[in-house]
Chains A and B, each alone.
Chain A
Amino acid sequence: MLSLLSSWSLELKTIINLVDQGHQWKFHGGIHPPSRKERTKTLAISTIEMPQQLFLSLSQHIGQPAVPVVAIGDTVQKGQLLAKQDGFISAAVIAPTSGTISDICQYSNCHISGIETQTIVLTPDHLNTWRTKLPLTLTSDHQQILERIKLSGITGLGGAGFPAAVKLATKAAIEFLIINGAECEPYITSDDLLMQERGAGIVAGIEIMAQLLKPQRIIIAIEDNKPQAITAMKEAAKQSIIDIIVRAIPTLYPAGGEKQLIEVLTSKQVPSGKIPADIGVVVQNVATSHAIANAVLLDEPIVSRIVTVTGELVDKPGNYEVPIGTSIEQLLIHAQFKPQTQQKIIIGGPMMGFALQQINAPVIKSTNCVIAASINELPDAPPEQNCIRCGDCEQVCPANLLPQQLQWFAKDQDHKKLNDHNLFDCIECGACAFVCPSTIPLVQYYRVAKAEIRQTTEDKRQADRAKDRFEQRNIRLERDKQERLERSKKAAEVRQAAMSKNSDGDAVAAALARIKAKKAAAEESSDAPNKDRVAAAIARAKAKKSAQTTSPEPAAQESDDIDPQKARVAAAIARAKAKKAAQQQKIDSSNDQSTNADTIETIDPKKARIAAVIAKAKAKKTLELEQANNNGNDDKSVTVADTIETIDPKKARIAAVIAKAKAKKALEQQQSNNNNDQR
């Protein structure tokens, strides 16, 4: 054990030594897609005018949606907390400017699915007043700093949107803190510009993270196609109080992928199913680092982000600092978007980004790039051809998978083989689909297969749970039964003991009397009040008939013929009407316990409900009795249905429910009759 540990530390030392010597490694595969960054890589960061409304989705990150802490109509200030994080993996939502909350509703989100999510709508007052700021310093308590980062709603700004505080709260011993400025995707230049212009802020963020994580080495990795950024960061790093290595790495997609970047810089591979912290590495994006510096040192939570807007269809491309929640449509208009009949709006890069479905979706924290591409610029893939097993995909796969084998298995839905071939280690970088000569949408096949497998696993988990619960229930029922038996046995014993004391005859007589009483009571309770009630209903109906002009006469009439389906429909209509009326009039009714419906007084809605429910149950019982008696559909159902004509909505509801129950019973009866007939 000890020797293992020492050999491990030795190995670590050599890795650190190699890193110090400027050594770099390679990851498997990789591609060189056309970079297309030229258009925006020299354009300084600029701002846009504050939009009329900001749409702040509560699901801007991976994990649980945030929970709103404001209500519609509230006035908020810039930087104020709007929604707090819910659980460990979640992130807060902050007001990007001052204004009023005009709505909290379902709204389109900047998400691949195009599904609407809960969104806070903020109408800015254009004053942009900050809430009071309480800046911390580098020497503040760690817990306090972490809390601040959490409350500032900072998520990974590189694209995935993983809450930043979670990574920084790790307990693992960290050897390498890697700051990701690789930005390997084509088109995107937001991090590039951030590094060029705000290197000091990024370094300040790094200092805070270094304070929290105590890493042995800190490396800023930048692809070598961004010479200005490299120079700027080297300059900024020199000013820092701590040692920061700025490393230019070869331009090769997907070098900016977390796992690939770790391999390039440290030769380590993140074991499958683990996180970088498990091998002593933490990776943060440069923009995240900048946001952390703002949050901690200035107490300015994340209110805006830098978005690259580019593509052939915008005349004024650029790197814009945009308030979170700005609609992408507005952003595009600002960049002089020239819509064509057909185009793609890509959020993120062209390799891993997604095509937007609603143009009114807002900018969220992880929106780093908007590409308005004409159909010639990023054409649709030609129809899929047969795989010729050329193996090009395997040569470029950064995860060293066998993409074409996976594709066959995915088409065959062979989940076992997919797992054998480590489908879940695929990072969906799209390199395989990029090089495929048969233009097979490989990544799409993997996504679907992954979804299917996840679904199957989830189903399996639920099935196991259900099985457990079912078995538990059976055990419980069995136990209850045993206990009941036990109890009755005991009671019998007690009785027997008592009987043997008293004279036998008395006991028998007493028992008989008890039974008789019970019977009588039962009859009474089921029969008598019902008759009363029915009579009352008829009376009521008659009384109200004249007064009511808009009564659902036809429905009632229709329930005359024995068609249960129609009766059901009628009942449903009546119920809906009654509900509406109830809402309008708020008639409170009550019912004395003798269940006479005529004695309704306006006392309190709860009582009315109880009454209604009792009536319902009663009605059902009656029906059962009736059916037991005459085994078919009878006039009484008509009588009951007649009560639908009443105005009193409460009563109507009761009636409706009764009708419904009756109809159900009748239907069943009819069906069973039919069945019998057929036999």
Chain B
Amino acid sequence: MMYLSVTPSPHNLGTNKTSRVMASVMLATVPGVATLIYFFGYGVLFQIAICCLTAILSEMAILKLRQKDIAINLKDNSALLTGILLGISIPPLAPWWIGVIGTCFAIIVAKQLYGGLGFNLFNPAMVGYVLLLISFPVAMTNWLMPLELSHVVLSFSDYISAIFTGVTTTGLSIHELRLGIDGITMATPLDTLKTDLTLGLTSGESMQKPVFDSLGGIGWFWVNIAFAIGGLALLKLKVIRWHIPVAVLGSLLFFSLIGYLLNPDSQGSSIFHLFNGATMFGAFFIATDPVTAATSNKGRLLFGCFIGLLIYVIRTFGGFPDAMAFAILLANMTVPVIDYYSKPTTYGRGGNNE
């Protein structure tokens, strides 16, 4: 018996697949994660592991509840990616339940309640992060100091113990770990600058602190460089397009430059903004999430510029030291409106024809 298979055109398809897109993004985080480990220890790895596990379990649970095909939906790797991105964002020695709560909220509320991949309005990882930041501000700002400034050397088991019990095997609490050699609590460079500025110091004075070096914050510069390399690889692989990262970085550069030139004493320099905190990570990995970004190229540029502006405004004037998550969520909110008003001109509707 001979059968003719009748399918609609086009009959040949490209090779790009969603799962491949997601996997490429995951792979591209490797340099950044490696740098994080180099400067801040193995804690990051555990956080990523915790978040990934939670992400997959919660996604499976919801898919099961909704009676959808678990295998097919998990294979798109999107839950795993959310887990990785959130894991990277969480302080390395945060207690284990931080990652679990954040990821559950991200996957269940921000993603699956909207119908799953493709329907969510907000970037799930950032929703999870913001929730954690607001609910557990102390735990979420407990970034470790760079290893080279630390007075204790932590073993592998110390990380596990710290994450799951709150103290290292030698009995040091996370707070004690964060004490510098001089006995002063260390914060992230952005945090330090913010605190110092509110205390009346100029940015120049603040920069003298040990957490800074000539390039900005110790370690953070290289972390950002590493994420930027990963991002450029994604650009090269055509997994993401240039519009959003360029717009984010460009507008951040632009606004911070204006701010710095107008008032150099109370603000960080452009370089400081570009290579600190989550700037590169956000610009290349979070903001480029296609689901929650604008559609057209014009819209993407606008979207990116808006993120850059918000990062600068909130970092400089707002109450939070790093603003990537808020900026992205706020920009996510504007996406449908941006899409509505940034349609490209369709062929034959240019109006400059006879």
Contact = CB atoms under 8 A, between A and B. Distances in A.
Given A259-B348, A346-B11, A391 B295 contact: yes
B12 A425 contact: no
Given A271-B353, A391-B296, A355 B18 contact: no
Interface string B1-15: 111111111111110
B210 interface: no
A403 to B, nearest CB: 10
Contacts of B4: 343-345, 355-357, 359
A582 interface: no
B2 A402 contact: no
Interface stretch (A118-126, A192-200, A431-439, A594-602): A431-439
Nearest to A421: B343
A387 interface: yes
Contacts of A34: 12
Contact of B21 (A355, A405, A437): A437
Given A272-B349, A402-B295, A425-B347, A390 B8 contact: no
A40 interface: no
Interface string A381-406: 10101111111101100111110110
Given A279-B353, A388-B290, A447 B14 contact: no
B5 A425 contact: no
Contact of A378 (B12, B115, B119, B353): B12
A91 to B, nearest CB: 24
A425 B13 contact: no
Contact of B3 (A280, A342, A351, A437): A342
Contacts of A352: 9-10
A234 interface: no
A273 B347 CA distance: 11
A400 B346 contact: yes
Contact of B10 (A341, A350, A400, A425): A350
B295 A341 contact: no
A184 to B, nearest CB: 13
10 contacts: A186-B12, A350-B11, A351-B9, A355-B7, A394-B295, A399-B346, A422-B346, A436-B16, A443-B8, A443-B10
A430 B13 CA distance: 9
A413 to B, nearest CB: 18
Interface majority SS (helix, strand, loop, mixed), chain A: loop
Contacts of A342: 3, 5
A389 B290 contact: yes
Interface of A: 8, 27-28, 31, 33-34, 114, 186, 259, 263, 268-274, 278-280, 339-346, 350-357, 359, 373, 375, 378-381, 383, 385-392, 394-395, 398-402, 404-405, 421-422, 425, 428, 430, 433-439, 441, 443-444, 447
Contacts of A375: 5
B18 A385 contact: yes
Contacts of B76: 385
B350 A269 contact: yes
Given A373-B11, A433-B10, A271 B348 contact: yes
Interface string B69-92: 000100010100000000000000
B5 A404 contact: no
A447 B8 contact: yes
B78 to A, nearest CB: 8
A344 B295 contact: no
Given A389-B118, A391-B290, A405-B339, A381 B13 contact: yes
B354 A350 contact: no
Given A114-B6, A355-B11, A425-B349, 18 more contacts: A27-B347, A34-B12, A269-B348, A271-B353, A272-B346, A279-B354, A341-B3, A343-B4, A353-B11, A355-B4, A355-B6, A355-B7, A388-B118, A391-B290, A391-B295, A394-B295, A425-B347, A437-B18
Interface majority SS (helix, strand, loop, mixed), chain B: loop
A203 to B, nearest CB: 30
A398 B18 CA distance: 23
Interface residues of B, number: 46
A201 B291 CA distance: 54
A400 B347 contact: yes
B16 A437 contact: yes
B118 A378 contact: no
Nearest to B243: A391
Contacts of B118: 386-389, 438
Contacts, number: 178
Contacts of A422: 346, 349
Contacts of B116: 386
A337 to B, nearest CB: 10
Contacts of A259: 347-348
A8 B354 contact: yes
Contact of A388 (B2, B21, B346, B354): B21
Nearest to B6: A355
A28 B347 contact: yes
A199 B7 CA distance: 36
The 8 closest A-B pairs by CB, nearest first: A430-B10, A386-B118, A272-B348, A390-B290, A350-B11, A399-B347, A422-B346, A444-B8
A340 B2 CA distance: 6
B12 A33 contact: yes
A142 B139 CA distance: 87
A434 B347 contact: no
B346 A435 contact: no
B9 A353 contact: yes
Given A402-B295, A405-B295, A437 B17 contact: yes
B293 A389 contact: yes
Interface in B114-137: 115-119
B83 to A, nearest CB: 17
A254 to B, nearest CB: 11
Contacts of B20: 437
A392 B7 contact: no
Nearest to A386: B118
